[in-house]
A and B are shown apart, each in its own frame.
Chain A
Amino acid sequence: MTSGSTLAIEATGLAKSYGETRAVAGVDLAVPAGAIYGVLGPNGAGKTTTIRMLATIVPPDAGTARVLGHDVVTEADAVRGLVSLTGQLASVDEELTGRENLVLVGRLLGHRRAAARARADELLEAFGIAGAAGKLVKHYSGGMRRRLDIAASIVVTPQLAFLDEPTTGLDPRSRNQVWEIVRALVAEGTTVLLCTQYLEEADQLADGIVVIDRGRVIAEGTPGQLKASVGNGALHVRLLDPARRPEAARLLESAVGTVTLEPDPAALSAACSDADRAATAVGALGRAGVGLADFSLDQPSLDEVFLSLTGHLAEEPAPATQEAS
């Protein structure tokens, strides 16, 4: 999929350890320019460490990486001049106001005072933070802080933006706003490397995805390819009586295919893409007298992709509602 296209990021065998912990154990990446590329994985998979190496914040122990054609170790300064980082902890100064944060970044990038102020005001207005421009960031809501963080990353529009879990902890409305901003960024020509533990986020935004688990890439492709790799769909069944699940599993196994027992003791699912076969399977359950609470046939989610790739759940935490009034 990379043939002929320019690569924004090329990494080979990137590795980083902290003490005994191998945070990243040999990651290869080929990220095409001009798209959103998702790095998907649970907490502690090595996503943040990977992004920190690519953004030249920490040097890799082993392996090499080129970002926009520059080596992250020997040409770190050139890389820094082309990229921006929105960190997992909001990379803004909580003890300054929102406006001061943006003016600070503008000044550090070389804007004269008046230009830095004008740019700060333009961004505050566009990102809906103008009303709180003079408030200290520590009093901002989670959503405002995130938007300010992204605004700080585009004081000078980067060619490549690293976004490390930009919506973690946000309520759905704030999350949608951040997604809109990310789409706008790509529409204007910036390449985005997006780390996320939210499968839905990668599905919504990313053109290509790598799945990382325990410091290694375990799968790569478009969201569609990843879904296809675990079959085209699944029949979900929930029983009235959990005690009859083994029997139901046997029936489904013979009628359609591989059965997965779900965490809910009354639920199970079977890989299946054909509606007729699903109907036959449900009918077989009915004839055997296994009462159903409900059933459904759906396309696989990235959750299922993750489960089938890693053998464990992505441990997606419930989204917190941080957006204060």
Chain B
Amino acid sequence: MTATAPRTDADTAAVRRAIASTARPPRPGPLATALTFGWRGMLKIKHVPEQLIDVTITPVLFVLMFTYLFGGALAGSTSAYLQYVLPGILVMSVVFTTVYSGVALNTDLTKGVVDRFRSLPIWRPAPLLGALLGDSVRYVLAGTVILVLGVALGYRPEGGAAGALAALALVVVFSFGLSWVYSAVGLVLRSPSAVLNGGFMVLFPLTFLSNVFVDPRTLPGPLRAFVDVNPISVLATATRSLMAGAPDGTAIAVSLAVAAGLAAVFLPVTTRLYRSR
């Protein structure tokens, strides 16, 4: 900036030139439009990096608490338990982040900018798809934080870096599917905090009643039956197998199928809700 104050008035002659000087460019394709919305998501992370703290601090606390507080009692030693629990917490942290997709969407709807998007000649699902693509970057960041922390604490994936990356990719893809559910929830509930509370009310029991924290062999029969069919357990099993370097084909296939199923059901529902709200 120079020493002179910036002009803060509209310049009518320049406004007229600006209005007169436009040609309409050809319409962008659906993918390009969605990626532009993804870019918008990135800009928000850039401007408000604090929002990432929300999604990383809880899993970090869980890693530390479970490993050092319960680990010895549950698995004989903290290092043995860390080896068991870390892939599970990777699942938990990334899956929890999907709730924030619904919160962000709900927040968006209270702002006038959504009317702008709705009045533009663009592919209708692009704002949603783009937002979720942007959120996928958040999932990768949340997952990376957990992996780096785990390695720092002594976790060693037998599958090596390739196994860890494959596991991260699986978790992110699953979360992308699940995030359509929370987008729908974000469009139905009235306030961002209702989305947050509602989301965690479902995800907390689902995560704890799974094999994320404990080996289900010691559980009573009915509970164990639930834990075994809980998709979070299946995903945790698949993730563990990838990180251990011994991929469990069935668990991976089921996880991907659940993600695809959720997206197939909730993508149209969410798009329809977005249009009508």
A125 on the B face (CB < 8 A): yes
B14, A104: Cβ atoms closer than 8 Å: no
B119, A56: Cβ atoms closer than 8 Å: yes
Q: How long is the Cα–Cα vector from A111 to B1 in the complex, in angstroms? A: 28
CB within 8 Å: A-B pair count:
146
Q: How many residues of A contact B (CB 8 A)?
A: 60
Q: What residues of chain B lie closer than 8 Å to A94, measured between beta carbons?
A: 111, 113
B18 on the A face (CB < 8 A): yes
Q: How long is the Cα–Cα vector from A77 to B123 in the complex, in angstroms? A: 9
Task: State which residues 100-142 of B face A: CB under 8 Å.
Answer: 111-113, 115-122
> Of the 9-residue stretches B22-30, B158-166, B204-212, B257-265, which lies at the interface with chain A?
B22-30
Chain A 66-105, CB-CB to B under 8 Å as 1, else 0, gives 0000000000010011011101111111111100100011
B1, A131: Cβ atoms closer than 8 Å: yes
Contact (A107, B7) CB under 8 Å given A100-B43, A122-B18: no
B120, A108: Cβ atoms closer than 8 Å: yes
B148 on the A face (CB < 8 A): no
Residue among B6, B19, B48 making CB contact with A185, cutoff 8 Å: B19
A126, B11: Cβ atoms closer than 8 Å: yes
B121, A81: Cβ atoms closer than 8 Å: yes
Q: How long is the Cα–Cα vector from A85 to B120 in the complex, in angstroms? A: 9
Contact (A110, B27) CB under 8 Å given A84-B119, A89-B112, A188-B19: yes
B120, A131: Cβ atoms closer than 8 Å: no
Q: How long is the Cα–Cα vector from A110 to B22 in the complex, in angstroms? A: 13
Residue among B1, B26, B43 making CB contact with A96, cutoff 8 Å: B43
A187 on the B face (CB < 8 A): yes
Contact (A154, B19) CB under 8 Å given A89-B112, A108-B36, A110-B26: yes
B36, A180: Cβ atoms closer than 8 Å: no
Q: How long is the Cα–Cα vector from A280 to B111 in the complex, in angstroms? A: 58
B15, A181: Cβ atoms closer than 8 Å: yes
Q: What residues of chain B lie closer than 8 Å to A109, measured between beta carbons?
A: 24-25, 27-28, 120-121
Q: What residues of chain A lie closer than 8 Å to B40, measured between beta carbons?
A: 93, 96, 104
Q: How long is the Cα–Cα vector from A136 to B122 in the complex, in angstroms? A: 25
Tell me the smallest distance from the CB of B107 to a CB of chain A, in Å. 9
Closest residue of chain B to A144 (Cβ to Cβ) is: B8
Residue among A96, A110, A122, A180 making CB contact with B21, cutoff 8 Å: A122
Tell me the smallest distance from the CB of A165 to a CB of chain B, in Å. 11
A93, B25: Cβ atoms closer than 8 Å: no
Tell me the smallest distance from the CB of A47 to a CB of chain B, in Å. 14
Q: How long is the Cα–Cα vector from A58 to B275 in the complex, in angstroms? A: 8
B119, A55: Cβ atoms closer than 8 Å: yes
B119, A127: Cβ atoms closer than 8 Å: no
B201 on the A face (CB < 8 A): no
Q: What residues of chain A lie closer than 8 Å to B17, measured between beta carbons?
A: 126
Q: What residues of chain A lie closer than 8 Å to B118, measured between beta carbons?
A: 55-57
Q: What residues of chain A lie closer than 8 Å to B5, measured between beta carbons?
A: 131
A85, B115: Cβ atoms closer than 8 Å: yes
A92, B113: Cβ atoms closer than 8 Å: yes
A-B contact pairs, 27 of them (CB 8 A): A55-B115, A57-B115, A91-B113, A91-B115, A91-B116, A96-B47, A104-B36, A108-B28, A108-B36, A109-B27, A109-B28, A109-B121, A111-B25, A112-B25, A123-B18, A125-B14, A126-B11, A126-B14, A126-B15, A126-B17, A128-B10, A131-B5, A154-B19, A156-B22, A157-B22, A177-B9, A187-B16
5 smallest A-B Cβ distances: which pairs? A131-B6, A89-B112, A126-B14, A91-B116, A110-B25
